[in-house]
Amino acid sequence: MLLIDLLSYMKLQIMAAHKEDYQLIPAQLICFLSSAITLIQAIIIGGHVADVLIKFTDALFITGTTLLSVKLARDGDEMPAAGFILLAIGWGVLFASTDFMNQKVGVHIVSSAFYFVFPAMILMTFYKKFKLWLRILLILNIVPFQVSMALEIANPESEHILYWSYTNILFMHIVSIIWSIFFFIQHKKEKKQTE
């Protein structure tokens, strides 16, 4: 009797976790898409409004990575969950750096955020359900960030660091849309199988 109760409880917990995915998975997709769209608007508009939009973009990106870390941790995928947490931390550094972009220290703060990208992308490749091409994309995503860091070490005064940083951020948004769509499609397939 105790075993049956335990199994019933476990089944309810699994169903509850998947029930939460009905909100979480679409929410992460909305966050990443909205983040990218808001970034594009900021680039087009420019000026002080762009500064506000970039903060909003960063907040949406951090929210999306946090939502995915919750899902992965709940599903028992701790390594990739830790990768998404590290990415959220790094993006928090980017969020803070926007207040200092007109100062000399701003470039260094932006570069500091990139130190989190390397371990984040490596940990995210441990997600078993990612296809090989997506894992390769995550590894390739490290390269532009490493170039930025090398440029900063070679010449901390160079303006090229900012241009590389913007390129890195745009590439990260593209990759985030790809993985968010992957999670959404995976969720839809799992939902069909349980119905």
List pLDDT tens digits, range 58-111: 999 999 999 999 999 999 999 999 999 999 998 888 887 776 666 665 566 666
Asked whether residue 17 is domain-assigned, the answer is no
Of 161, 188, 179, the closest CA to residue 18 belongs to 188
> Is position 114 within any domain?
yes
Number of domains in the chain: 1
pLDDT at position 34: 95
The reply to whether 115 falls in a domain is yes
Which residues, other chains included, contact 180 with Cβ-Cβ below 8 Å and sequence gap of 6+? 28, 29, 31, 32, 33, 64, 68
pTM: 0.82
Tell whether 152 is covered by a domain: yes
Q: Provide the domain limits for residue 152.
A: 27-194
pLDDT digits (tens, 9 = 90+) for 25-41: 999 999 999 999 999 99
The total number of residues shown for the chain amounts to 195
| The residue type at 57 | T
75: in domain? yes
Q: C-alpha angle 54/60/63, rounded to 5°?
A: 140
- In-domain check, residue 172: yes
Asked if the structure places residue 141 within a domain, the reply is: yes
Q: How many CA atoms lie within 13 A of 51 on its CB side?
A: 9
